[in-house]
A and B are shown apart, each in its own frame.
Chain A
Amino acid sequence: MYRETNRHFKFDWISIIIFMLLVGFGWLNILSASHVGETVDYFNFSQPYGKQLIFIFLTILLIILILSIDSKFYERFSGVIYIISMLSLVGLFIAGKNVNGATSWYGIGGMTLQPSEFAKAATSLAIAKFLSDLQTDLKNFKDQVKAFIIIAIPAILIILQNDTGSALVYATFFFVFYREGLPKIYLIIATLLAFISIGSLKFGDITTSIIITLVILGYHFTRRKKPAFIKTILTILACIILSFGVEFLYDNMLQAHQKDRISLWLRLENDPDKLADMRRDILYNLYESEKAISSGGITGKGFLQGTRTTGKFVPEQHTDYIFSTVGEEWGFAGTVFVVVLFVLLLLRILHLAELQKSQFSRVYGYSVASILFFHFMINIGMVMGLIPTIGIPLPFFSYGGSGLWAFTILLFIFIKLDSNRINEW
């Protein structure tokens, strides 16, 4: 496709427009979820919605800055950016501020910054840089380990700050690696792992072991070119051990609240009274957010009219549970609108990534899509009760300066890279 050489028209306006719609609509919902009293003072900067307005204003400056820096800068300095970002995570152990049990914030004046949000963009740049290196081949075990180390460093640092939810995001780089040539066996192993974990918890280790054994044997005997029998046996053994191990891990490694979340998600508790108590007490947030969403109906109760939102029934509603406000006040129409916007944005980024001539831009674009997708899937899935509770924000939507800026940086670096794809490198 031919593009205008004029600077302003080189940017992908579809992504930018979706971005603006999400940020704008997000702000309206933050306003709903955080305003107090009958009248709304739009410029009350002591309230979250007022602060978010400032964050959005600063975001515009940030975008201008990102887009005016030369594309080559991001590739060239990706290593440095990554190292600085990792240092900022390490620094939290010295100067971090503890909020809600996680030491993930720097306090600067009255403001707080969450370096783990920015680490996602830095890691994406580093991964893009590493994978675009002509020497790198993900079929090579050594390179697989190197790539894994790049994402493991931030993930481990974040786990150590007791913010497991944010660390899980790094698992999404699997999609990037797979796109860039990671052998299929990893996909199979990952799928097996997921099935065995869920299956063992839900149906018991013996049932799961038997089913897995049968499946693998079936696979073994239906293949025209039979794999070595010993390999099959070893795989089965590994699966059985894992299956029995899962329960041990579940019982001994997880914290109580994590166990409760999983137990509720998989409906492990069969006693209806206990289940109801769990829903009401342990997962009060989820209970209330589901109620808020379903009370919205088809068209919703209207902007600022949500009774459950006004009554502050859903805790953290302006941050992680912002989607429940959409559900209550804008109804099915509003929630589908948001879901469709996200899906369009994700597909658009993926599409653009595939069009990139430079491998760096493609890998980076893929990383952006994977990260945004992970947040989208986990956050909305959690708010609707499809996925166990994992506290991560909804990109562009949830209240919070660090998150908004980090996602903006993540997206707009790609938009900047994309604007240059017409140029030969």
Chain B
Amino acid sequence: MRQFLLFIIIILVGLTFIARLFYLQVYNLEEHSLFDDNAIRKVYDYPKRGFVYDRNGKLLVSNQPSYDVMVIPREVKPLDTLEFCSLLKIDIEQFRKFYKKAYHYSPRLPSVFVPQLSKEDYAALQEKMRKYEGFYIQKRSLRDYQTSIGANVLGYIAEATPYQIETNPYYNMGDLVGKQGVEASYENTLRGVKGIKFIQKDRFNKNIGPYKNGVYDTIPEQGKDITITIDAKLQAYGELLMQNKRGGIIAIEPSTGEILTMIAAPTYNPNLLVGRDRSKNFTKLYNDSIAKPLFNRSLQGVYEPGSPFKLMNALVALQEGVISTKETVTCYAGYKYGSRFMKCHCRVGTRNDMIHGIQESCNAYFATIYRRILDNPKNASIGIDIWSKHVKSFGLGDFLNNDLYVGQKGRIPDRDYYKHIYPNTFYSTYTLSNAIGQGEVATTPIQLANMIAAIANRGFYYTPHIIKDIKDETIDIKYTTPNYTTIDKQHFEPVIEGMFNVYKYGTASQLQIPGIEICGKTGTVENFVKIDGVKTQLTDHSIFVAFAPKDNPKIAIAVFVENGYWGSRFAGRIASLMIEEYINGEITRNDMENWILTHSLENEYAKPYSGEPFKINRGTTLQVIPTEDSNKIKKQIEALQ
């Protein structure tokens, strides 16, 4: 026994060691990567971010250098905080706060201490930087906006969020990444690929030379310039017209699906989100929960489409053969179904065929054809699916699957949708509001614009997109492939004729532009909000959709003005001016332009928040904005020309 004691202990110790080594080196193994190795310093070389040009080659976004003060908390030595703070223009409380935040993130990884120093501050700081151990300056490239328009189109860049850093290994703390607009949707194209240098350091954190003579180092790959489909001039004009109003405008070139303008009002100046006041400005914009300037109404605003949707019902009716173009429907100043009544502004006894039905926007006519569409098959639940399928073929009711960073599905109901609401019986009259574009149907301005583009093209559309050209790259084939609707080509002509009559003789006749044949449709949409839990009706939304010219269309447009009352009042005027501006390049109807510029809807928007009872629609008076304000906008417009 005695001779075995040491024997056994030796073997036990040997086994223990091997077990411990197994735990340390095999079981506990993290994939060894140079990136996780804190004996290797990673120095990044950020490439130039790609420029953004408009469709006519105008430079919209370029770069400017910026300097971030970075900190590695563990390496910080006691310093003259007073001097340091005054150099950085922060106070001691902020210093402590930033330091704590950085330390909390990681004591050994670099964090941004103070972002985006100006050139002047940088110059002052640079000389003294070596005094502050643990702090260094990281040069980055910031955006330099050459314009004050298009904030919602262009988006902005900001520091990557912790979630992005965690999920995408490319990003490090403090990296700038596109957050909205094309900056976000073309992030990978614009940013390029950053270069990296691996530097071996010793335990005192001194660099002792490139790791393995730099064989793993990479050089940065420059970001690619992109050209977007936006017409900067039209965009600027539209944004000015939308001053003091809320809503969205989308204009599309039907023959290509290129988005000519994408306006969301109110908007903001993109330069606000650059530089040291960025976070202050951003907080302001972000917290504006009433005007919501960061909310892109043209893409995310889901509204009931109103009368423009009647075009859709007309097309489906013709395709399904439930009515001929010649057949007339008699309007009794409304449409009676069961015990209910849908009002119409036609005189009692008016007989409308399709073209007149569209021209006069007759509710009775569309209620009739909508019922026929649904009741044509055996029962309405089959009918609603047929109807839904046709409507969805225009890109309504779903994401457009394009290169815009945000979007909304809208809503086109079908049988499944109604199953939950009407589990037992389903008749066409239940959903009769859909006939006039209210009720369950809901669309975004871009979907409406796309619908008009498909009508303008007589049966197909190109997915609306914002990218026109990427340097040395071809754009996605899905933007150059037509999407066909389920409506045959010949059915479009009567509808287009009706839209033309809207302009010639109908609800938009006062909006005519000499020399341009425009096809359009007005819309006036009832809308409600809850104020203190009470459903309250607000002034109607003003909607207008149009394309022009009638033959060989160049522009399809949808204009949506919140609480603008009837369709031709605000939306129609704005659409008309936009079309004139785009096709003729100049405005001849200065009085109309003037009217838009001098009238504001801000008082309408203030009503629900006023806490007092208020009148809507007929009872409203338009707010006229002070001459100096409207003159300011006028001057900006003149500068555009």
- Verify B203–A175 contact, CB threshold 8 A: no
Q: Which of A181, A331, A343 contacts B11 (CB 8 A)?
A: A343
In the complex, chain B residues whose CB is within 8 Å of the CB of A301 = 32
B37 close to chain A: CB less than 8 A = yes
CB nearest to A344 among chain B residues: B14
In the complex, chain B residues whose CB is within 8 Å of the CB of A384 = 17, 20-21, 24
B2 close to chain A: CB less than 8 A = yes
**Cβ-closest 5 pairs across A and B:** A343-B14, A307-B39, A311-B39, A332-B25, A294-B24
Chain B 4-43 residues near chain A, CB threshold 8 A: 5-7, 9-11, 13-14, 16-18, 20-22, 24-26, 28-30, 32, 34, 37, 39-40
User: Can you show 23 pairs from A to B with CB atoms below 8 A apart?
Assistant: A175-B5, A175-B9, A181-B2, A295-B32, A296-B25, A297-B26, A298-B26, A307-B37, A307-B39, A307-B211, A308-B39, A311-B200, A311-B201, A327-B25, A332-B21, A342-B14, A347-B10, A350-B3, A350-B6, A373-B10, A380-B17, A384-B20, A386-B20
B202 close to chain A: CB less than 8 A = yes
In the complex, chain B residues whose CB is within 8 Å of the CB of A307 = 34, 37, 39-40, 200, 211
In the complex, chain B residues whose CB is within 8 Å of the CB of A91 = none
In the complex, chain B residues whose CB is within 8 Å of the CB of A350 = 3, 6-7, 10
- Verify B32–A354 contact, CB threshold 8 A: no
B208 close to chain A: CB less than 8 A = yes
CB nearest to B5 among chain A residues: A178
B57 close to chain A: CB less than 8 A = no
In the complex, chain B residues whose CB is within 8 Å of the CB of A79 = none
Q: Given contacts A179-B2, A294-B28, A350-B7, are A339 and B18 in contact (CB under 8 A)?
A: yes
- Verify A332–B26 contact, CB threshold 8 A: yes
Q: Given contacts A350-B7, A373-B6, A384-B17, are A311 and B208 in contact (CB under 8 A)?
A: yes
| Nearest CB on A from B42, distance (A) | 12
In the complex, chain B residues whose CB is within 8 Å of the CB of A377 = 13
Rounded to whole angstroms, the CA-CA distance of A370 and B13 in the bound complex is 13
Rounded to whole angstroms, the CA-CA distance of A347 and B10 in the bound complex is 8
In the complex, chain B residues whose CB is within 8 Å of the CB of A332 = 21-22, 25-26
- Verify B32–A297 contact, CB threshold 8 A: yes
CB nearest to B29 among chain A residues: A297
**What count of chain B residues pass the 8 Å CB interface test?**
35
Rounded to whole angstroms, the CA-CA distance of A301 and B25 in the bound complex is 12
- Verify B17–A179 contact, CB threshold 8 A: no
In the complex, chain A residues whose CB is within 8 Å of the CB of B6 = 175, 179, 350, 366, 369-370, 373
* Seed contacts A179-B2, A340-B14; 17 additional CB < 8 Å A-B pairs: A38-B209, A179-B6, A181-B2, A290-B24, A293-B25, A294-B28, A294-B30, A295-B37, A301-B32, A307-B39, A311-B39, A327-B24, A332-B26, A342-B14, A366-B6, A373-B9, A373-B10
In the complex, chain B residues whose CB is within 8 Å of the CB of A311 = 39, 200-203, 208
- Verify B3–A354 contact, CB threshold 8 A: yes
Q: Return the CB mask of A379-393 against B: 1 if under 8 Å, else 0.
A: 011001010000000
Using a CB–CB distance below 8 Å, which chain B residues touch chain A? 2-3, 5-7, 9-11, 13-14, 16-18, 20-22, 24-26, 28-30, 32, 34, 37, 39-40, 200-203, 208-209, 211, 213
CB nearest to A308 among chain B residues: B39
The dominant DSSP class at the A interface is: helix
In the complex, chain A residues whose CB is within 8 Å of the CB of B28 = 294
A204 close to chain B: CB less than 8 A = no
In the complex, chain A residues whose CB is within 8 Å of the CB of B20 = 384, 386
CB nearest to A340 among chain B residues: B14
In the complex, chain A residues whose CB is within 8 Å of the CB of B16 = 386
| Nearest CB on B from A175, distance (A) | 5
| Nearest CB on B from A79, distance (A) | 26
A336 close to chain B: CB less than 8 A = yes
CB nearest to B74 among chain A residues: A280
A313 close to chain B: CB less than 8 A = yes
Rounded to whole angstroms, the CA-CA distance of A293 and B40 in the bound complex is 16
In the complex, chain A residues whose CB is within 8 Å of the CB of B37 = 295, 307-308
- Verify B17–A313 contact, CB threshold 8 A: no
Rounded to whole angstroms, the CA-CA distance of A373 and B202 in the bound complex is 33
Q: Given contacts A290-B24, A308-B39, are A381 and B17 in contact (CB under 8 A)?
A: yes
The CB with the most chain B CB atoms within 10 A, among A290, A307, A313, A384, is that of A307
Q: Return the CB mask of A294-316 against B: 1 if under 8 Å, else 0.
A: 11111001000001101111110
In the complex, chain A residues whose CB is within 8 Å of the CB of B202 = 311-313
A131 close to chain B: CB less than 8 A = no
- Verify A336–B208 contact, CB threshold 8 A: no
In the complex, chain A residues whose CB is within 8 Å of the CB of B7 = 347, 350
Rounded to whole angstroms, the CA-CA distance of A307 and B9 in the bound complex is 35
Rounded to whole angstroms, the CA-CA distance of A380 and B10 in the bound complex is 13
A151 close to chain B: CB less than 8 A = no
- Verify B17–A339 contact, CB threshold 8 A: yes
CB nearest to A298 among chain B residues: B26
In the complex, chain B residues whose CB is within 8 Å of the CB of A212 = none
Q: Given contacts A175-B5, A288-B203, are A336 and B39 in contact (CB under 8 A)?
A: no
CB nearest to A377 among chain B residues: B13
Rounded to whole angstroms, the CA-CA distance of A373 and B13 in the bound complex is 9
| Nearest CB on A from B113, distance (A) | 22
In the complex, chain B residues whose CB is within 8 Å of the CB of A37 = 209
- Verify B5–A346 contact, CB threshold 8 A: no
Rounded to whole angstroms, the CA-CA distance of A290 and B23 in the bound complex is 11
| Nearest CB on B from A221, distance (A) | 25
| Nearest CB on B from A47, distance (A) | 15
Rounded to whole angstroms, the CA-CA distance of A288 and B22 in the bound complex is 18
- Verify B213–A38 contact, CB threshold 8 A: yes
Rounded to whole angstroms, the CA-CA distance of A350 and B2 in the bound complex is 12
CB nearest to A333 among chain B residues: B25
CB nearest to A372 among chain B residues: B10
A208 close to chain B: CB less than 8 A = no
Q: Given contacts A307-B200, A340-B14, A384-B21, are A313 and B39 in contact (CB under 8 A)?
A: yes
Rounded to whole angstroms, the CA-CA distance of A378 and B10 in the bound complex is 12
A335 close to chain B: CB less than 8 A = yes
- Verify B25–A294 contact, CB threshold 8 A: yes
- Verify A335–B21 contact, CB threshold 8 A: yes
Chain A 50-97 residues near chain B, CB threshold 8 A: none
- Verify A178–B2 contact, CB threshold 8 A: yes
In the complex, chain A residues whose CB is within 8 Å of the CB of B34 = 307
| Nearest CB on B from A362, distance (A) | 10
CB nearest to B24 among chain A residues: A294
In the complex, chain A residues whose CB is within 8 Å of the CB of B13 = 373, 376-377, 381
Q: Return the CB mask of A162-202 against B: 1 if under 8 Å, else 0.
A: 00000000000001001101000001000000000000000
CB nearest to A370 among chain B residues: B6
Rounded to whole angstroms, the CA-CA distance of A335 and B26 in the bound complex is 12
In the complex, chain B residues whose CB is within 8 Å of the CB of A343 = 10-11, 14
Q: Which of B9, B14, B39 contacts A310 (CB 8 A)?
A: B39
Q: Return the CB mask of A25-38 against B: 1 if under 8 Å, else 0.
A: 00000000000011
In the complex, chain B residues whose CB is within 8 Å of the CB of A312 = 202-203
Rounded to whole angstroms, the CA-CA distance of A197 and B337 in the bound complex is 95
CB nearest to A307 among chain B residues: B39
In the complex, chain A residues whose CB is within 8 Å of the CB of B9 = 175, 373
CB nearest to B40 among chain A residues: A307
CB nearest to B22 among chain A residues: A332
Rounded to whole angstroms, the CA-CA distance of A382 and B208 in the bound complex is 29
Rounded to whole angstroms, the CA-CA distance of A258 and B506 in the bound complex is 97
Rounded to whole angstroms, the CA-CA distance of A179 and B9 in the bound complex is 13
- Verify B200–A310 contact, CB threshold 8 A: yes
Rounded to whole angstroms, the CA-CA distance of A294 and B22 in the bound complex is 9
Rounded to whole angstroms, the CA-CA distance of A296 and B10 in the bound complex is 25
Q: Which of B17, B25, B200 contacts A297 (CB 8 A)?
A: B25
In the complex, chain A residues whose CB is within 8 Å of the CB of B3 = 179, 350, 354
Q: Return the CB mask of A341-365 against B: 1 if under 8 Å, else 0.
A: 0110011001000100000000000
Q: Given contacts A315-B203, A327-B24, are A294 and B10 in contact (CB under 8 A)?
A: no
Rounded to whole angstroms, the CA-CA distance of A290 and B18 in the bound complex is 14
Chain A 115-137 residues near chain B, CB threshold 8 A: none
In the complex, chain B residues whose CB is within 8 Å of the CB of A178 = 2, 5
Rounded to whole angstroms, the CA-CA distance of A301 and B200 in the bound complex is 15
